[in-house]
Chain A
């Protein structure tokens, strides 16, 4: 256990970062994961069925 005791992170991301290079693009794996998650979340939000709402009133 580190000096920060019980409140220390379980998997601290303090080791030297990993990077992906493709032509002019260089991105850290952490940022890439965040961006992929954003795109995936967006697509899921578009396609996932939304719990149906009961129609209550017409032209209030």
Chain B
């Protein structure tokens, strides 16, 4: 026993009162049985959601123009992923926390080259077709400036992009091999071959979906479906689940910040929210040491309810 002053929010009095019987094993068993029964009842009653995944085949079939404009944005490197910066590429600085460019410092560790990964390499995986083979070799032997000229011409002509009889038609006259390549890519997507090509670039077995997921996220088809399901960031979507199921309600505070300024208006919103949540989590972790915060329980006197039998028994 020490003689220093008693700090009511830090120190606890020594318990000199009595003890009651307590069966810890029985309590645990009852809890396990109750939770198991409740879990089974909820599962039998409500089941669980399983909305099927979106394929690139479905995307290019149901929203062909969105697919085609997204493919174009990969070609001319204006897509979200092409402009992302680290960890995918060096296109931009990425998000900053004040002077800290955390992602950029760590660098490009998941390299994504939008032209090669989304267009050239998938087309190379197709069975040999004379026109496409000639176009691909024309592309690979061209200089950087020639390619840039083709891409510029194709991008301008793509303003009049059309889907005619299931074919992508762009009347670009000075775009070299690009009209044929992009039309073939469009066909490839509609047959489902592009889905496959994007995941098997590193071999037969795969469990890495970085490329197709980034591609899907660059379009508006995926986010359109999410919007209908109230899943987007500005709809508190992080907490929500598809259908009428409860979601990750425990993310309420994290998703709340995305609804207000400055977070929802800043290009650095993600890193600002993460920074803030780190600080708040540290606050929760260090509550026992934070004056004021640790006094709230004593001052609100909710404990009088919890231990009311004890206080009632006091002389």
Contact = CB atoms under 8 A, between A and B. Distances in A.
A28 B246 contact: yes
A58 B230 CA distance: 58
A54 B245 contact: no
Contact of A17 (B45, B47, B244, B306): B244
Contacts, number: 101
A10 B20 CA distance: 44
21 contacts: A8-B47, A13-B243, A14-B243, A14-B244, A15-B244, A16-B229, A17-B242, A17-B244, A19-B230, A19-B235, A26-B259, A28-B246, A30-B241, A30-B245, A31-B246, A33-B246, A47-B305, A55-B20, A57-B19, A58-B18, A59-B18
Contacts of B43: 9
Contacts of B49: 13-14
B305 A56 contact: no
Contacts of A31: 239-240, 246-247, 249
Nearest to A43: B305
Interface in B195-251: 228-230, 235-236, 239-247, 249
Secondary structure at the A interface, as helix, strand, loop or mixed, is loop
B18 A55 contact: yes
Given A9-B44, A11-B46, A29 B306 contact: no
Secondary structure at the B interface, as helix, strand, loop or mixed, is loop
B260 interface: yes
Given A13-B46, A31-B246, A53 B20 contact: yes
A55 to B, nearest CB: 5
Contacts of A55: 18-20
Interface string A3-43: 00000111111111111000011111111011100000000
A34 B22 contact: no
Contact of A18 (B45, B48, B244): B244
A60 B18 CA distance: 8
A31 B249 CA distance: 6
A13 B239 contact: no
A15 B51 CA distance: 11
B21 interface: yes
A35 B229 contact: no
A46 interface: yes
Interface residues of A, number: 34
B128 interface: no
Given A30-B245, A57-B18, 12 more contacts: A9-B46, A19-B230, A26-B259, A30-B247, A31-B239, A46-B306, A47-B305, A53-B20, A53-B22, A54-B21, A56-B18, A57-B19
B244 A60 contact: no
B7 interface: no
Given A19-B230, A24-B260, A56 B20 contact: yes
A13 B309 CA distance: 43
A5 B229 CA distance: 27
B302 interface: yes
A31 B47 CA distance: 16
A57 B259 CA distance: 56
Contacts of A35: 249, 252
Given A16-B228, A17-B230, A46-B302, A9 B246 contact: no
